Chains A and B, each alone.
Chain A
Amino acid sequence: MTEEKKPEERKKRRTATEAAAKVASISRAMISDALRAREEGKKTAYTFIYCCYDEIVRTMDIVPIWTENFAGICGAKRDAQRFLERAEAQNLSRSLCTYALCGLGFDAWREEIGQMPPDAPWGGQPKPDMMLSSGQIICDPRSKWYQAAQHYMPDVPVYNIGLPIIPYEADYDYQEVAGYYVRYIVEQLRGLVEFLEKHTGRKMDWDRLSEVVYLGDRTWNMVIEAYELRRAIPCPMGTGDAMNTMVPLTFMMGTQQAYDFFKDLYDELQRKIANKEGVVLDEKYRLLWGGGLPAWFALTDFNYFESKGAVFPAETTYRLVEPIYRLDLPKVSDPIEHLAWRWVKWSTYWYDKARKRPGASPEVERLINYIEEYNIDGVVMHEAFSCRSWHVGLIWQLNQLKKIYRDIPTLILESDIIDINSYNEVDTRARIDAFIDTLESVKR
Chain B
Amino acid sequence: MSKEATGGLATAEKYYQDYGARVRELKRQGKKIIGYLCAYVPLEIITAAGFMPFRIKGNVNEPITKADTQMETIVCPLVRSCFDLSLKGDYDFLNGLVIPHACDSICRTYDIWKYTLGLPYSHIINMPHGTDDSSLKFFKELLNTFRKSLGKFAGEEISDDSLAQTVKAYNDNRAKVRELLELRRLEPPQISGTEITKALVAAMSIPVEESISLLNSIIGEVKQKTGVPTKKSARIMVVGAQVDDAAFIKLIEDTGAWIVVDDLCPGTREYWSDVDVTDDPIDGLAERYLRKIKCGRTYREQKGTYAEYLEDRFGHIGQFVKDFRVDGVILYIYKYCDPFGFEVPTLKSYLQSLETPALYLEDQYSMPTIARLRTRIQAFLEMLG
Contacts and interface: CB of A to CB of B under 8 A. Distances in A.
Contacts of B333: 93
Interface in A383-427: 383, 385-389, 391-396, 399-400
A158 B75 CA distance: 28
Interface in A353-394: 359, 361, 363, 383, 385-389, 391-394
B123 A180 contact: no
Contact of A395 (B71, B105, B301): B71
Given A135-B128, A140-B297, A180-B138, A396 B111 contact: yes
Interface in B98-151: 101, 103-105, 107-112, 114-116, 121-124, 126, 128-130, 132, 134-135, 137-138, 141, 145, 148-149
Contact of A144 (B105, B153, B338, B360): B338
B296 A144 contact: yes
A193 B7 CA distance: 60
A363 B110 CA distance: 13
A140 B339 CA distance: 6
A162 B101 CA distance: 13
B130 A151 contact: no
Interface stretch (A33-41, A56-64, A163-171, A257-265): A163-171
Nearest to A403: B115
Given A143-B299, A388-B105, A393-B111, A148 B74 contact: no
A364 B309 CA distance: 42
A385 B296 CA distance: 21
A167 B101 CA distance: 10
Interface stretch (B30-38, B270-278, B281-289, B341-349): B341-349
A95 B129 contact: no
Given A96-B342, A151-B346, A392-B71, A138 B110 contact: no
B108 A389 contact: yes
A191 interface: yes
A180 B141 contact: yes
Contact of B71 (A139, A183, A386, A396): A396
B126 A135 contact: no
A137 interface: yes
A184 B301 CA distance: 16
Contact of A154 (B116, B129, B306): B306
A291 B296 CA distance: 28
Interface in B211-258: none
A184 B341 contact: no
B72 A160 contact: no
Contacts of A92: 341-342, 344-345
Interface in B344-373: 344-346, 348-349, 360, 362
Nearest to B348: A91
Contacts of A181: 138
Contact of A151 (B297, B299, B345): B345
B152 interface: yes
B71 A184 contact: no
Interface in A92-118: 92-93, 95-97, 100
Nearest to B350: A151
**Interface residue tally of chain A, by bracket?**
35 or more
Contact of A169 (B74, B75, B123, B346): B123
Q: Give the most central of A93, A166, A181: most B CB within 10 Å.
A: A93
Contacts of A93: 333, 335, 337, 341, 344, 362
Interface residues of B, number: 61
B380 interface: no
Contacts of A236: none
Contact of B338 (A97, A133, A187, A188): A97
B302 interface: yes
Contacts of B126: 137, 164-167
A391 B336 CA distance: 13
Interface string B154-197: 00000000000000000000000000000000000000000000
Interface in A278-327: none
Chain A CB count within 10 A is highest, among B145, B296, B338, for: B338
Contacts of A147: 299, 342
B53 to A, nearest CB: 17
A147 B296 CA distance: 11
Interface of B: 69-72, 74-75, 101, 103-105, 107-112, 114-116, 121-124, 126, 128-130, 132, 134-135, 137-138, 141, 145, 148-149, 152-153, 296-297, 299, 301-302, 306, 309, 333, 335-339, 341-346, 348-349, 360, 362
18 contacts: A92-B344, A95-B335, A96-B336, A135-B299, A140-B103, A162-B135, A164-B126, A164-B138, A167-B110, A169-B122, A184-B128, A187-B134, A188-B134, A188-B135, A359-B115, A388-B74, A388-B104, A388-B108
Given A133-B299, A144-B342, 18 more contacts: A135-B130, A135-B299, A140-B103, A143-B129, A143-B299, A144-B339, A147-B299, A164-B128, A169-B124, A171-B122, A171-B123, A172-B145, A184-B128, A184-B141, A386-B74, A388-B104, A388-B105, A392-B105
